[in-house]
Amino acid sequence: MLFAGTNYHPHDWPRERWKHDIEMMKKASFNIVRLGHLCWDSYEPSEGNFTFEWFDEVMDLFHEAGIKVVLDIATRPAPTWLHKKYPEIDLTDTNGIRLEAQTRYMEDIGHPAFQEYAYRFAEKLVCHYRNHPALYAFGLCNELGSGSPSYSSAARDRFEAWLKEKYKTIDSLNQAWTTHRWSRKLNSFHDVVLPISGHIQGAPERVIDMWRFYSDETLAFMHGLSLLVKRLAPHARESTNHWSENPGYGFDYMKQYQDIIDLPGIGFYPGTNPEDRRALTAACFFMDHRIGELDKPIWCLEFQTGDFGGYGSPRNAMRMYAYLSLVYRGQAVCAWTWRTMLGGEEQYVFGLVDHDGTPGWKYDEFKQIAEEFNLLKELGLPRRTKPEIAIAYSYESLKVMAGNRSYYKMEYTEQVLQAYETLMLANLDCNIVNLRQLKNNYKILIVPGHAVMDKASAAAIRSFVEGGGTVVMTAYSAKVNEHSRAFDTPLPGELSDVFGIRSGAFSRTRSHTPIENAGGLEKTELRLEREKPIISLGGRELQPDIDYYEILEAHTAETVATFTNTWDKSPAVTRNKYGKGEAIYVAIPANTSLLTALLDPLYSALGIQKGPSTPTGIIARELDNGSVIYVNTTGTEQTIELDRPASGFLTGRNFERSLTLSSYDVELLMYESTIKGEHTNE
């Protein structure tokens, strides 16, 4: 079953408009709607005064229309009355200044007063609607992980308690935090402060624990909502469009997602310019990140229709995005938003219906999506896959690298996306995994820029290779331990013997200017290019755009690729046999061009079947019934060569030797064996 629908905010519009809007949704073949988000005080306008009657009518109307409801549990933002009663739930910035709740996401979700009222509201809402016939699922709040943490004294107190639970003794904490440096020893846990004050950030050991603390609070709150739904409405599904990847806040989703998530969910926002390949790649990566190893389809609980000040994507690009989501295991697309809002912070995020209530051209395009999704539901969609390749993801590495930009000049997310794009170009599926909880079996494990290497993660890599797997790790990996302290053993930390190398010295190919002002003299960013390293790999010469490479010493490892024009002419790629498997180390940060050249021969050697062969920008997958879906993500016409005749399910056209797709077009090719098989099944 596939779902197409929208996000609707009935509290924004007059009651007499509801039936008209729902009738338009029904005519567009919508079968899902997301309701209830961001409007706690519409249900509880004052403390304990619950007014569900108005929303009962909304739910009834959608039931009459045959449209199922994902009902968000709107615990954020908190109502004004709660902020006024408990001002301590307001956010406090790094300067210690309490911030007035002017916009959304300005509450301290870890504060006990907030949680008491949030869970009470959630219980009332769930109990009231758990048996409503329109209900399909509950949403576990909106965009957890967005906004900002609070640096209040109350948060400091909770941080102290968190540290006591983790370290038990002050001596253990002092050792983990290297507090003897610069005379910063702690005499008791009460000496702990949050390690950000104004624009000044404390030592990395303290900062990583602070982010772990905030992450654990977010996870605990979301888990509490999940348990509440499971207890009070066990027949309902639950999902959430959290934002764990948020670089400014976020949380360690992969640490606990398998206990929380029933239906993986996301806000699918590749932007209104499909030519922005990084944004498009990231949108697909985030979908796979949310799925993790659940082997479940994902719901696009928000789906881009417009943008801040942008009416919409080029014509047909919204439909293209919908099919792209299907390729990446999507099951539902809910347009954000139905009608462009008249006020508030998103009054110029344009929806399917214009400000005056009149449908724009996007309504017709989304109607086409919904109608086609209804036809596709019997063709093996949503996709269920068993990827043979995994990419390791680390929230802690994200935070460590963001906090130490003088060394980690290539941001963590960019390295992950470079690795991920390599598989996109090969039309291969992958899972995004937590090394500490690796559950499935894979043939290739890619570890891009995994700066933090704790003992559990290292043990997982060691075991994976010993058991016959092939691991590919890139530069910037395994630099610090779980406390964000540099290793005093050969690098890559905990794994030097597995990779058979030592990574010590490194080189900047461009002039280096640190963020810190060493020596008190202002340094000038010269932007000199000192080297343009060339890598010789398998008879090919590559010159990736890099500003850093590591000078490797191969011990037991074989040199697979070499820098040909650098001072040391050191190994660029090494390969070490360990146990039944192999450990490959790449001396540059994750780079799509090099990883493509490195991985291509590995696929056939390891028995991994590449996806359909396509021009760059065409994303394709074979479905379980043998049909193949092609998505042209580019703004130009593209031609795909075919190895046999096929018919187009969407167009009804026959294709002999090639398929030509116009800009942002899609097609589902059916082959004779596919058609016969379907007929037999019938």
Distance CA 123, CA 167 (A): 35
Q: Taking residues 516-540, what's their average pLDDT? A: 89
Distance CA 594, CA 415 (A): 12
Distance CA 269, CA 645 (A): 36
Q: What pLDDT does 524 receive?
A: 87
Q: How far is CA 498 from CA 453, 495, 557, 577, in A?
A: 14, 5, 9, 8
Burial class (CB in 10 A: 0-12, 13-18, 19+), 184: middle
DSSP state at residue 506: E
Distance CA 475, CA 405 (A): 15
Distance CA 125, CA 129 (A): 6
pLDDT digits (tens, 9 = 90+) for 235-280: 999 999 999 999 899 999 999 999 999 999 999 999 999 999 999 9
Q: Which residue is associated with the tokens 């991985």?
A: 599
The answer, yes or no, to whether residue 440 has pLDDT greater than 60, is yes
CB-based contact 48:13 (threshold 8 Å):
no
User: In degrees rounded to 5, what are phi and psi of residue 551?
Assistant: -95, 100
How many CB atoms sit inside 10 A of residue 529's CB?
10
Amino acid 38 reads L
Q: What pLDDT does 673 receive?
A: 67
- DSSP H or E stretch at residue 419: helix 412-425
Q: What pLDDT does 527 receive?
A: 87
pLDDT digits (tens, 9 = 90+) for 288-324: 999 999 999 999 999 999 999 999 999 999 999 999 9
CB-based contact 319:361 (threshold 8 Å):
no
CB-based contact 498:583 (threshold 8 Å):
yes
Q: What pLDDT does 392 receive?
A: 98
The answer, yes or no, to whether residue 454 has pLDDT greater than 50, is yes
3-state helix, strand, coil in the chain (%, to 5): 35, 20, 45
CB-based contact 2:381 (threshold 8 Å):
yes
Q: What pLDDT does 676 receive?
A: 53
Q: How far is CA 571 from CA 204, 229, 563, 589, in A?
A: 31, 54, 6, 14
CB-based contact 628:622 (threshold 8 Å):
yes
Report the percentage of the chain scoring pLDDT > 90. 95
Angle between helices 15-27 and 53-65 in degrees, nearest 10: 20
- DSSP H or E stretch at residue 339: none
Amino acid 551 reads I
In sequence order, what are the beta bridge partners of 480? Answer: 452, 486
Whole-structure pTM over 0.95, yes or no? yes
Q: What pLDDT does 516 receive?
A: 83
Q: What pLDDT does 517 receive?
A: 78
Contacts of 242 (CB under 8 A, 6+ apart): 140, 143, 144, 145, 222, 251, 253, 265
CB-based contact 36:74 (threshold 8 Å):
yes
User: In degrees rounded to 5, what are phi and psi of residue 238?
Assistant: -140, 145
CA 366 from chain center: how many Å? 24
CB-based contact 655:642 (threshold 8 Å):
yes
In sequence order, what are the beta bridge partners of 72? Answer: 139
pLDDT digits (tens, 9 = 90+) for 647-658: 999 999 999 999
Distance CA 502, CA 510 (A): 23
Q: How far is CA 402 from CA 204, 226, 406, 595, 670, in A?
A: 11, 31, 10, 24, 47
- Closest by CA to 268, choosing from 251, 247, 243, is 243
Q: Taking residues 409-427, what's their average pLDDT? A: 97
DSSP state at residue 626: S
The answer, yes or no, to whether residue 494 has pLDDT greater than 60, is yes
Please give the structure tokens belonging to residue 221.
């709150």
How many CB atoms sit inside 10 A of residue 490's CB?
17
Strand locations in 520-570 (E): 535-537, 540-542, 548-554, 558-563
pLDDT digits (tens, 9 = 90+) for 161-171: 999 999 999 99
Distance CA 253, CA 243 (A): 9
CB-based contact 655:643 (threshold 8 Å):
no
Q: What pLDDT does 209 receive?
A: 98
Burial class (CB in 10 A: 0-12, 13-18, 19+), 629: buried
CA 323 from chain center: how many Å? 19
pLDDT interval class at 377 (50, 70, 90): confident
Q: What pLDDT does 140 receive?
A: 97
Q: How far is CA 196 from CA 207, 494, 590, in A?
A: 8, 30, 30
Q: How far is CA 305 from CA 11, 160, 327, 515, 663, in A?
A: 21, 44, 19, 39, 18
Q: What pLDDT does 681 receive?
A: 34
pLDDT interval class at 522 (50, 70, 90): confident
CB-based contact 297:266 (threshold 8 Å):
no
Radius of gyration over alpha carbons of the chain, in Å? Answer: 26
CB-based contact 229:238 (threshold 8 Å):
yes
The answer, yes or no, to whether residue 193 has pLDDT greater than 80, is yes
Pairwise pLDDT comparison (112 vs 680), residue with the higher score: 112
Domains and CATH numbers, the chain: 3-148+209-376 (3.20.20.80), 154-197 (no CATH), 389-605 (3.40.50.880), 618-681 (2.60.40.1180)
DSSP state at residue 223: H
User: In degrees rounded to 5, what are phi and psi of residue 283?
Assistant: -60, -40
Angle subtended at Cα 526 by Cα 523 and Cα 531, rounded to the nearest 5 degrees: 125
Q: What pLDDT does 680 receive?
A: 35
Q: How far is CA 443 from CA 28, 467, 602, 606, in A?
A: 44, 10, 10, 7
Q: How far apart are the first and last CA of the chain?
A: 18
- Closest by CA to 391, choosing from 428, 427, 439, 444, is 444
pLDDT digits (tens, 9 = 90+) for 536-586: 999 999 999 999 999 999 999 999 999 999 999 999 999 999 999 999 999
CB-based contact 12:342 (threshold 8 Å):
yes
DSSP state at residue 518: G
- Can you give 30-63 as a three-state secondary structure string? CCEEEECCCCHHHHCCECCECCCHHHHHHHHHHH
Q: Taking residues 28-32, what's their average pLDDT? A: 98
Q: What pLDDT does 523 receive?
A: 84
DSSP state at residue 189: G
CB-based contact 613:426 (threshold 8 Å):
no
CB-based contact 550:473 (threshold 8 Å):
no
The answer, yes or no, to whether residue 591 has pLDDT greater than 70, is yes
pLDDT interval class at 682 (50, 70, 90): very low
Question: Which of helix, strand or coil describes residue 137?
Answer: strand
Tell me the pLDDT of the chain averaged across its residues. Answer: 96
The answer, yes or no, to whether residue 675 has pLDDT greater than 80, is no
